[in-house]
């Protein structure tokens, strides 16, 4: 009986499915080269394939692997970094579907002329924004009562719950009042080219279309800081 050290080394052939001596297989080359590394097909199977005019079994196996690799879709983007175990500098962008936001039609629409829609911000103020005569944008924070008055008297409109927008610049507002009143003094009916407040600013009046009228220079100077009704009554007495 042969000792274990004298027994020949056997290898299983992947094609004839038989165990044959290791010397009956072709040596491997390259990275897989070694004293005991052999190819999967035995020499008999290789000769049989060559006589039949076909490629060797290992070549067929390599071609099958190439076909499978070509059938797989290319790995791009973050998936390529995940497969290779590291993130490369050049990775193709991966396009994700955008999350659909709720439609604006479902949101309640604010009435731009309704001051009840206003709600103060964290500071308890309302943001007022507008433009200068040269078109430069500006903004400031005002009291909610003043904001409601500007909206009510048609000087501003509601943009959102905590913001209103002034409708006129200073130059546009003056032109609007003069055109509306046809350059006629509100008190005497003569030609007027100045702007006057029915309720003086000193008593809480504001520069709005409701509180401003066209006036001549004489009536504007005579009225001073009196109310419009009071000034008209005094003119009637005289």
- Which helix (H) or strand (E) element contains residue 42? strand 38-42
- Determine the Cα–Cα distance for residues 68 and 134; give it in Å rounded to an integer: 70
Q: Which residues contact 188 (CB under 8 A, 6 or more apart)?
A: 216, 218, 219, 235
Specify the residue for token string 């004293």: 35
Which value, in Å, is the radius of gyration of the alpha carbons in the chain?
Answer: 47
- Determine the Cα–Cα distance for residues 22 and 43; give it in Å rounded to an integer: 10
Helices (H), the chain: 43-51, 57-71, 78-84, 144-152, 170-180, 217-223, 228-237
pLDDT digits (tens, 9 = 90+) for 171-200: 999 999 999 999 999 999 999 999 999 999
- Determine the Cα–Cα distance for residues 175 and 166; give it in Å rounded to an integer: 15
Within 13 Å and on the Cβ side, how many CA atoms surround 238?
A: 7
Residues 165, 169, 175, CA angle at the centre, nearest 5°?
130
- Determine the Cα–Cα distance for residues 152 and 145; give it in Å rounded to an integer: 10
Measured between alpha carbons, how far is residue 204 from residues 197, 209, 210 in Å? 10, 15, 14
State the pLDDT at residue 65. Answer: 54
Sign of CA dihedral 179, 180, 185, 191: positive
Q: What predicted TM-score, i.e. pTM, was given to this entire model? A: 0.55
pLDDT in tens, the chain (238 residues): 445 455 567 888 888 888 888 788 877 777 777 777 777 788 888 888 888 876 555 555 555 554 454 455 554 444 444 444 545 445 545 555 566 666 555 666 889 999 999 999 999 999 999 999 999 999 999 999 999 999 999 999 999 999 999 999 999 999 999 999 999 999 999 999 999 999 999 999 999 999 999 999 999 999 988 999 999 988 888 7
Burial of 183 (0-12, 13-18, 19+ CB in 10 A): middle
Q: Which two tokens stand for residue 132?
A: 């200068």
């Amino acid at each position: 009986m042969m000792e274990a050290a004298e027994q020949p080394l056997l290898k299983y052939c992947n094609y004839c499915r038989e165990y044959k001596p290791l010397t009956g297989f072709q040596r491997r080359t390259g990275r897989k080269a070694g004293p005991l590394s052999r190819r999967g097909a035995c020499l008999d199977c290789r000769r049989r394939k060559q006589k039949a005019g076909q490629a060797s079994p290992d070549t067929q196996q390599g071609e099958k692997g190439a076909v499978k690799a070509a059938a797989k879709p290319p790995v791009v983007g973050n998936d390529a970094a995940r497969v290779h175990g590291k993130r490369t500098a050049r990775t193709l962008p991966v396009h994700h579907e955008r999350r659909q936001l709720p439609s604006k039609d479902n949101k309640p629409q604010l009435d731009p002329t309704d001051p009840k829609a206003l709600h103060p911000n964290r500071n308890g103020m309302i943001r007022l924004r507008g433009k200068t005569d040269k078109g430069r944008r500006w903004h400031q924070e005002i009291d909610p009562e003043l904001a409601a008055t500007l909206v009510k008297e048609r000087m501003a409109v509601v943009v959102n719950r905590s913001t209103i927008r002034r409708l006129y610049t200073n130059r546009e507002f003056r032109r609007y009042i003069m055109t509306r009143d046809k350059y006629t003094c509100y008190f005497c009916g003569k030609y007027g080219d100045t702007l006057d407040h029915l309720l003086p600013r000193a008593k809480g009046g504001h520069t709005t279309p409701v509180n401003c009228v066209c006036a001549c220079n004489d009536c504007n100077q005579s009225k001073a800081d009196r109310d419009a009704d009071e000034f008209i009554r005094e003119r009637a007495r005289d």
